[in-house]
Amino acid sequence: MEPNGMIYKVVVVDDEVMAVKAISRILERDCPGFEVAGTAGNGSEALELIGKVSPDLVLTDVEMPLMNGLELVRQASAIMPNLCFVIISGYQDFEYARDAFRSGVLDYLTKPIVPSQMLRTMKNVEEKLRRLYYDRRTGIFRKLCIGETIALEEIRQFFPYREFYAALLRENGLPRRYSPSKEPELYSTIEEAYSVYGRDNMEELFLIPKEVLGQQPLIDYMTRVERRQKTEGSYTTLLYYGEAFSGPEISEKIRNLYYWLNTLSTVGLSQVVDLDKKRLLEERIPSLDIAELSGLLQEMGQYVKTGRYDQLQKCIIRAFTQWEKEKRPQVWLEQATRRIRNFIGTQTGDTESLIESEYQFEDAFYYSTSMEMLWQNLYASFYHLPEKEKENHKVDSPEFFENIKIYLRDHISEPLSLQEISDLFAISQAYMSKLFRKYTRQSYNQYLTGIRIERAKQLMEENSELFVKDIAEMVGYRDQFYFSRIFRSYTGQSPADYIK
């Protein structure tokens, strides 16, 4: 049986009654991962049965009257593209049916059926089905998360539970829109009993079958996950549905989770919201008060014209302090700060590259863990003013950056937040991010994750007896499952598969 509790439905097809009984008996007695959903004596009868019971697997003889097994494979695959087959042939030389392996056939059996041979075949088929279903389930889940429409039949086939819980956990700000290099998406591993997806390694969307969670309240489970994975000093947004819902509702629930993440995510403010209970969810993102912002920009313009940059800075601090009290969400802040940035750039004749400016703007929201840090990063990022902090020109050198890389490698088991590293090397976060883009063509997070995964691979190669949990801790991850998801997103393999 799969970790997700799935039992595969099987249709057995053979014109020999005794063969059907023998195969069914072996499946029912010795193959707990399979359930016989029906039997048929020829391809035509089987085709009708398949349409009624929607099996996961068909075991079919090749030589049968009315419609042979290969024609059944062809026609059934046209109706159910995800259907899998094991074909049974009396021919020891299997060249006759070789082409069938292009049509969803996972394996074959030869007659007469030997129980030990069939058990080996079914074990192999179960592993293939498990991986195949995992890949399809992962692909469907990702499509649901990015808003694509999925047929209800597919949801029912690959998410067969009756009821689910869903939760979305985000650390720090919303994902970047214009990252210079795309960060790998996050997926659950094949060993996990539920589905997980993240647009980057700062986010996890959980779809958990009710049977898997049992009597444990979802919030209790998610709180433990949040505590294990949260980086010291960061903030998190945890949104969840505390009441179970049916499979057909999955798409709507996922769509709502992302909508409310965009609506509620607030820089520096940790939040836990049960979307089934929150009464104020109908409130939308507050609109940008043009009159209010116009007055602010006019005041800032006067300070720029007269060279009173100290007053400009106080004006910015005052605005951000007020917005923090009002718990303005990130999306709203982005609108306001973009207008301020563009206005200041126009007033000061800012000549910085628009692309670089956008990267710095996004980094500020991505890494800032408080409103104070945000305004400091924004101020340093896109205001080329005389009183702005000047980075030492010696900092922008390969030698200086090599020291940063050495420090990261030597302290890889530690949290290593961008703020901590920037403070250690006495430069701003904005400038540290800029150095990583310049010298690695990656974000700080991408680079750090990359060297952690490479170190993990090295540890696995040096000592295959190490537990995944221990390796995770040695490269800076406190949660084994989170590490496994990160590892798979970067390598395409789970840690267990890599060790093998």
What DSSP string runs through 279-300? GGGG--PPPP-HHHHHHHHHHH
* Segment holding 197, helix H or strand E: strand 195-198
Q: How far is CA 221 from CA 33, 165, 272, 343, 437, in A?
A: 28, 11, 13, 46, 37
Determine the pLDDT at residue 157: 85
Low-confidence residues of the chain, pLDDT below 50? 1-4, 93, 381-392
Q: What fold characterizes domain 398-499?
A: Arc Repressor Mutant, subunit A (1.10.10)
Q: With left for phi above 0 and alpha for psi between -120 and 50, is residue 187 left, alpha or beta?
A: beta
The top-level CATH class assigned to 8-136 is alpha beta
Domain ranges within the chain, ordered by starting residue? 8-136, 161-282, 290-382, 398-499
Distance, CA of 20 to CA of 28 (rounded, Å)? 12
CA 216 from chain center: how many Å?
A: 24
- Backbone torsions φ then ψ of 94, nearest 5 degrees: -95, 15
Distance, CA of 336 to CA of 404 (rounded, Å)? 34
Predicted TM-score (pTM) of this structure: 0.87
- Backbone torsions φ then ψ of 328, nearest 5 degrees: -65, 130
Distance, CA of 417 to CA of 429 (rounded, Å)? 10
Q: What angle do CA 317, 319, 322 make, to 5 degrees?
A: 105
Determine the pLDDT at residue 93: 45
Name every residue whose Cβ is closer than 8 Å to that of residue 280 and which is 6 or more positions away in sequence: none
Determine the pLDDT at residue 160: 85
- Backbone torsions φ then ψ of 492, nearest 5 degrees: 80, 5
Determine the pLDDT at residue 96: 58
At 446-488, the pLDDT tens digits run 999 999 999 999 999 999 899 999 999 999 999 999 999 999 9
